Amino acid sequence: MKKYSEMELPELHKLYEELSLEYRDYQYRALNLNMSRGKPSPEQLDLSMGMMDVLNSHADLTCEDGLDCRNYGVLDGIPEAKELLGDIMEVNPDNIIIYGNSSLNVMFDFISRSMTHGVMGSTPWCKLPKVKFLCPVPGYDRHFAITEYFGIEMINVPMLPTGPDMDMVEKLVAEDDSIKGIWCVPKYSNPTGNSYDDETVRRFARLQPAAADFRIYWDNAYTVHHLYDHHQDHLIEILAECKRAGNPDLVYKFASTSKISFPGSGIAACAASLNNLEDVRRQLKFQTIGHDKVNQLRHVRFFKDIHGVVEHMRLHADIMRPKFEAVEHIFQEELGGLDIGSWTCPNGGYFISFDSLPGCAKAIVAKAKKAGVVLTPAGATFPYGKDPEDRNIRIAPSYPSLDEIETAARLLALCVKLVSIEKLLIEAGEAVC
């Protein structure tokens, strides 16, 4: 297939006319498809409906240690839930606090507490002249929204196939004590789907930050979210690696069951060193008497143990895998060899990352929306919503049906072609009709 950049101008004009007719056909179909967020599909939600039946008015709501889950008490989670989440997060239950339904809420709390009360006795960030955070890009827009909300300056760090550019991370944190943290989605990253390799994890654990209150915000949101049984990404466990490196307090590790059971009705957790957890509990005891223990027990009774979680996630993968493969196949069929875009083919997670020619992402997203397919806004995967090259687009295949995904992927590929030709013609000084 001939690259667009190698085509003569008359060829590009002719192709543009043909593709424009095809685009108008899509507009006549009055599509209404939304691929803007990584929401589980109704079929995925159905997988957890049995959770609604494990507890009823006749159920014994007593924990293994005799605690009555209906009553007050237990600040950091029932033992069964700590064991289950500990297995999911690959950490000792003693290093875990169980929260409510949202890990994003927990991360917000951690930033808020650091602003007002500092980290383990350090100066509260609100009293400092400048606070900065490192942000691997493209990355998770809701992470960036938290730090932007608190007025924290965000610094872009390029995401490589192996993880963040660690040469840049090491240099920045060692030289600038106003840098207090870094956002990380280490496994099946949002949006690239890439996972950090062993060297990257080890380099994180061995960071020597200038700020004693620097922390790695390790959001392992997709820790069990594989698409395949035999092609899975594996991470070195960061807490253990930090301890080996002599930096036991360097990391906060987050996870939740939001895309395992019910989004908005799951359970979240943070794992950290005992020193960090002691610091957290000092604040937590003023914030709550305890989170929803009945929901914690419900999750444990439904999944039973980590083996139940693994089998449950295989069912999720059976629903998700064909959608990811459809997008990847259609992109290869429609765009392969044209040299106008590239995309990731992850082994898990919830997203595919697409990079267009520079300066084209916003126009592609707008053109897709005009034909009935809503995508995450271009630039959302960068702090302040500003992609310096205007080329990254996050694709969320999870919610629509397989037929809808195939339609949306073909339309998106068509939009990529049209916008790319427009760019090439304008650069050549040609009018676009």
Average pLDDT of the residues in 387-400: 97
Task: Write down the pTM of the prediction.
Answer: 0.96
Q: What's the confidence (pLDDT) of residue 337?
A: 95
Q: Find out whether 33 and 374 touch, Cβ atoms under 8 Å.
A: yes
Average pLDDT on 22-50 reads 95
Query: Of 271, 261, 296, which is closest to residue 63 (Cα–Cα)?
Result: 296
Structure confidence at residue 16 (pLDDT): 97
Residue-wise pLDDT tens digits, 233-258: 999 999 999 999 999 999 999 999 99
Q: Is residue 122 left, alpha or beta, with left meaning phi > 0 and alpha meaning psi from -120 to 50?
A: beta
Given the DSSP bridges, would you call strands 179-184 and 215-219 parallel, antiparallel or unpaired?
parallel
Q: Does pLDDT of 37 surpass 90? A: no
Q: Which domains does the chain have, with CATH numbers?
A: 4-44+310-427 (3.90.1150.10), 62-303 (3.40.640.10)
Average pLDDT over every residue of 21-34: 94
The whole-angstrom separation of Cα 187 and Cα 35 is: 21
- Residue 15: the pLDDT is 96
Tens of pLDDT along 329-381? 999 999 999 999 999 999 999 999 999 999 999 999 999 999 999 999 999 99
Task: Report the distance separating Cα 18 and Cα 418, nearest Å.
Answer: 10
Between residues 289 and 110, the one the model is more confident about: 110
| Cα–Cα dist 18/282, whole Å | 65
d(CA 49, CA 302): 10
Span 190-219, pLDDT tens digits: 999 999 999 999 999 999 999 999 999 999
Residue 49: CB partners within 8 Å, gap ≥ 6?
none
Distance separating alpha carbons of residues 228 and 188, to the nearest angstrom: 13
Q: What is the pLDDT of residue 394?
A: 97
pLDDT for 182 beyond 90: yes
Q: Which tokens hold the place of 168?
A: 């840049």
Q: Percent of the chain scored above 70 by pLDDT?
A: 100
Helix (H) or strand (E) holding 181: strand 179-184
* Residue 430 predicted with pLDDT over 90: no
Question: For residues 136 and 157, is the Cβ–Cβ distance under 8 A?
Answer: yes
| Range 175-184 average pLDDT | 98
pLDDT digits (tens, 9 = 90+) for 300-314: 999 999 999 999 999
What pairs with residue 184 in β-bridges? 218
Please state, in angstroms and rounded to a whole number, the distance separating the CA atoms of residues 121 and 240: 24
Mean local confidence (pLDDT), 77-85: 97
Residue 247's contacts (CB-CB under 8 Å, 6 or more residues apart) are 205, 206, 207
| pLDDT band at residue 432 under the 50/70/90 scheme | confident
Estimate the crossing angle of helix 79-89 against helix 293-303, to 10 degrees: 60
| Euclidean distance between CA atoms 229 and 226, whole angstroms | 7
pLDDT in tens, 266-284: 999 999 999 999 999 999 9
Query: How many Cβ atoms from other residues are within 10 Å of residue 65's Cβ?
Result: 9
**Mean pLDDT of all residues belonging to the chain:** 96
Burial letters 346-358, b for 16+ CB under 10 A, else e: bbbbbbbbbbbbe
How far from 375 is each of 36, 132, 280, 408, CA to CA, in Å?
A: 4, 30, 37, 10
The pLDDT value given to residue 431:
82
CA distances to 280, 294, 308 from 95, in Å = 12, 21, 22
Q: What is the pLDDT of residue 89?
A: 97
* pLDDT (0 to 100) of residue 349: 97
**HSE of 278, CA atoms in CB hemisphere, 13 A:** 6
Looking at the predicted structure, is the pLDDT value of residue 1 above 90? no
Amino acid 375: pLDDT: 96
- Residue 250 has what pLDDT? 98
